[in-house]
Amino acid sequence: MLKTDVLIIGSEGAGAQAAIAASDSGAEVTIVTKGRLGRSGATITATADLCADSRSIRELLGWAGDPQDTPEAFFQDIVVEGRYLNDQRQVQVLVEEVPARAKELLDWGLKVSDVRQMPGHRYPRSMYTSGQEMVRTLRRQVRRRPIRVIEDIVVTDLLTADSEVVGALGLDLERGETTTIVAKATILATGGAHNLYPFTTGPEGSTGDGQAMALRAGAELLNMEMTQFIPTALIHPPMASGNLFPFLLGPQNALRVWLLNKYGERFMAKWDPERMEHSTRDLLSIGIMTEIMEGRGSPRGGVYFSLAHLPQNLVQDFARWGAKPFLRPNWTAHGLDFKPLMDRVLRGEAIEVAPALHFFMGGVKVDEKGETSLPGLYAAGEVAGGVHGANRLSGNAFAQMVVQGKRAGQHAAQYALRQRAYLEPNLAQLSSLEERMNRPLRGELPLTPYALKRELQKIAAERVGVLREGAPLQEALERIVAMRGDDLLRVGSRSRDLRYNLEWLECLQLENMLTTLEAVARSALAREESRGAHYRRDFPMMDNARWLRNTVVKEINGEIEVTMEPVHITSVQLPRN
Amino acid sequence: MQQARKIQVRVQRSNPALKGEPFYETYQVPLEDGMSVANVLSLINELFAAALAYRVSCRRGLCASCLMKVNGRTRLACCEAVTGDLTLEPAFPDRVAKDLVSARERQRVASRGEGVKSDESTLDLAE
């Protein structure tokens, strides 16, 4: 049994930032990660901007910023984009503290290439860097401090005693053994639940672990229905599934792409006749999914993304000036070579694309200190909900990560240092959780996790994704509940090898994915309006009078229930209708 | 859809905790267009209950979790397109945890003020 002051689950953006802050506050810190430090999570995949108000960028950081901007204007833009659903306490903290966090990162060696103005921002606020740069910078700081990092630990549950979180139980992948960690404070920094959906920009390990564990421990989730999609991601070939390469080409900020259904119609005329494909992300996603679900899509379940109307040399020239620094002149982006694909595009072929899950605005309910409703439990980064409301501005994922990471780290450390003694885990609870962890290895279990995962993802994309509606959501919930209550008990690992057993891991992740998807579906069903990233075909309008409230999910007696709670406001009044 | 052609995938396996020498296991895998080595490994585990151990995270060549030797050359499995038979071996044969997974870093936590040193000594979780 390992004992530590502050336990941080997740080693990347928010987790690393929290560890640094907690360590600097005098606490003894342990990070556990299901992958490897600096090599797991979504931070490294970001195409990547960090936002602060433009005046601060100029005054504090010495970059070309607009002195007309203010933290208040930034606050307003965030709340407008979030359709007023944002937790304004968290927004206040973000706009006030992100300039200092940015300065710290620059002092730590973060390289920023330039400052740009992105959609939804009234001023240039986006400092462009890369996910790799951010990860390298933070990892360096973690390594310089006496922070214990344990890799290959899959935390399966939080440990509680009298509703306080006292630590965590995990599977040591390498040894194939359970690991118990007792902590005076625990921080969830586990990221979004990307793999709920079949096409995602997110990494393999993002399977809703933090969200599900929080629910099981008795914490609450906020606005889980607010799931952000990138409208045009690759659905083929398998090695590029969910890749946002087409989104780098257009239609926003770049080439004037045409989106076609199987008839060759530019279907965006139905949704935004003026801007057509240059419309907003949410309208694009809705337009694309409607074609797909109504049978007018492409053979692999997407729509056609075409550049055939543009001269070849214009398209070729784009590689030299466009999508910097992510796209290189030879059509490579990150580690993937898109030249073969672009050769076909230049011969007149269209690319099959569909919306890919990109970011979760919703997550574990926290206050502006990163505290959840359970004493001893904190959350920071994408796993935490509320700051972005119903939709997120570009650059604010990194802003959330670095601001919340530091805050949660500081507050968790202070909390831990005030505790005189470690709280003992409840042995009966420990035993029951260990048994559940080992269930996939017991007996002759007839089901494997792979087909169930694909079924879950299909349900998510078709019924709990871009397009939502009452009856399909109800049907989805019935199936999800059946999968959780029945199929899950019959799913197991065929190999009994304990060490590095990926099939066992898939079983454990499947449980978290089902729990988290149920939270998303129940929240989507509860919100009978459309707002930001949440679109209901049966309630297509926003309804501030009735629905400008948060959905809150909690597990009560084993059932996931949704209640509505007021939005926290500080300086911006909420619209009434 | 076309009948998928089969490729031969030879994987070096080992389970150092159980001692014994590394050995090769061969799988006949149906190959689809545009599969990466990572996709093939996932398929092997699903089709054959092979319990192959390997790492994948970012899927776009950034994190290097999936570094391994593909037909003798060190490559990122997630970005390496598969066009024919494969031989897969661990990137760092002297520090294998299992199959294609390199051992995690052992971090000895120094007392405050000294910083952390990375080393290969066993991390005792009871410390």
Per CB-CB distance under 8 Å, the chain A contacts of B58 are 39, 44-45, 203
Query: What is the rounded average pLDDT of the residues A345-351?
Result: 96
Distance CA A188, CA A472 (A): 32
Per CB-CB distance under 8 Å, the chain A contacts of B16 are none
Contact between B99 and A150 using a beta-carbon 8 Å cutoff: no
Contact between B79 and A151 using a beta-carbon 8 Å cutoff: no
pLDDT in tens, A296-314: 999 999 999 999 999 999 9
Name the amino acid, one letter, at A408.
A
CB A526 within 8 A of CB A203: no
User: How many CB pairs below 8 Å do chains A and B form together?
Assistant: 146
Residue B17 in this model has a pLDDT that exceeds 90: no
Residue B116 in this model has a pLDDT that exceeds 80: no
Query: What is the rounded average pLDDT of the residues A427-445?
Result: 94
Residue B123 in this model has a pLDDT that exceeds 80: no
pLDDT in tens, A494-533: 999 999 999 999 999 999 999 999 999 999 999 999 999 9
State how far residue A38 is from chain B, nearest Cα, in angstroms.
7
- Pick from A147, A333, A450: which is nearest to B46 by CB? A450
* A92 or B16, higher pLDDT: A92
State how far residue A307 is from chain B, nearest Cα, in angstroms.
22
User: What is the DSSP annotation of B48-109?
Assistant: H---------SSSSSS-TTEEEETTEEEETTT-B--S-EEEEES-GGGEEETTEEPPPEEEE
Q: How confident is the model at residue A65 (pLDDT cuts 50, 70, 90)?
A: very high
User: What is the DSSP annotation of A177-209?
Assistant: EEEEEEEEEEEE-----GGGSSSBSS-TT-SSH
Strands (E), A247-348: 258-260, 303-306, 332-333, 336-337
Q: Give the pLDDT of residue B16.
A: 84
First-residue to last-residue Cα distance in chain A: 55
Per CB-CB distance under 8 Å, the chain A contacts of B112 are 146
- Pick from A40, A41, A238: which is nearest to B35 by CB? A238
Per CB-CB distance under 8 Å, the chain B contacts of A40 are 57, 63, 65
Query: What is the rounded average pLDDT of the residues A136-150?
Result: 96
Distance CA B18, CA B21 (A): 9
Distance CA B7, CA B82 (A): 9
Q: Give the pLDDT of residue B121.
A: 37
Q: Give the pLDDT of residue A323.
A: 83
Per CB-CB distance under 8 Å, the chain B contacts of A240 are 34
Contact between B78 and A152 using a beta-carbon 8 Å cutoff: no
Supply the ipTM of this predicted assembly. 0.95
CB B105 within 8 A of CB A144: no
- Pick from B60, B109, B116: which is nearest to A243 by CB? B60
Structure tokens at A264: 């060759």
Per CB-CB distance under 8 Å, the chain B contacts of A238 are 32, 34-36, 39
Contact between A203 and B63 using a beta-carbon 8 Å cutoff: yes
State how far residue B99 is from chain A, nearest Cα, in angstroms.
9
Q: Give the pLDDT of residue B62.
A: 95
First-residue to last-residue Cα distance in chain B: 57
Provide, rounded to the nearest whole percent, the portion of chain B with pLDDT above 90: 72
Q: How confident is the model at residue B127 (pLDDT cuts 50, 70, 90)?
A: very low
State how far residue B8 is from chain A, nearest Cα, in angstroms.
19
Q: Give the pLDDT of residue A251.
A: 77
Distance CA A341, CA A349 (A): 9
pLDDT in tens, A193-249: 999 999 999 999 999 999 999 999 999 999 999 999 999 999 999 999 999 999 999
State how far residue A502 is from chain B, nearest Cα, in angstroms.
7
Q: How confident is the model at residue A47 (pLDDT cuts 50, 70, 90)?
A: confident
Q: How confident is the model at residue A250 (pLDDT cuts 50, 70, 90)?
A: confident
3-state secondary structure of A470: helix
Q: How confident is the model at residue A443 (pLDDT cuts 50, 70, 90)?
A: confident
Query: What is the rounded average pLDDT of the residues A424-449?
Result: 93
Per CB-CB distance under 8 Å, the chain A contacts of B60 are 45, 243, 333-336
B62 and chain A: CB distance < 8 Å anywhere?
A: yes
pTM over 0.90: yes
Contact between A205 and B79 using a beta-carbon 8 Å cutoff: no
Contact between B59 and A236 using a beta-carbon 8 Å cutoff: no
Upper half-sphere CA count for residue A30 (Cβ side, 13 Å): 23
Q: Residues of A428-448 as b/e, b for ≥16 C-beta within 10 angstroms?
A: eebeebbeebebbbeeebebb
Query: What is the rounded average pLDDT of the residues B103-114?
Result: 64
pLDDT in tens, B36-93: 999 999 999 999 999 999 999 999 999 999 999 999 999 999 999 999 999 999 999 9
CA A439 to chain centre: 29
Q: Which of residues 86-125 of B touch A (CB under 8 A)?
A: 97-99, 101, 103-105, 107, 109-116, 118, 123, 125
Least confident of A20-34, A307-321, A427-441, B111-125: B111-125
Q: Residues of A38-71 as b/e, b for ≥16 C-beta within 10 angstroms?
A: bbbbbbbbbbbbbbbbbbbbbebbebebbeebeb
Per CB-CB distance under 8 Å, the chain A contacts of B114 are 146
State how far residue A495 is from chain B, nearest Cα, in angstroms.
6
Contact between B116 and A143 using a beta-carbon 8 Å cutoff: yes
DSSP code for A299: T
Own/partner pairs for A266-271, CB < 8 Å, 24+ apart?
A: A267/A291, A267/A296, A267/A303
Q: How many helices (H) and strands (E) does chain B have?
A: 1, 9
Q: Give the pLDDT of residue B120.
A: 37
Name the amino acid, one letter, at A380.
A
Distance CA A457, CA A198 (A): 5
Per CB-CB distance under 8 Å, the chain A contacts of B38 are 239
Contact between B46 and A145 using a beta-carbon 8 Å cutoff: no
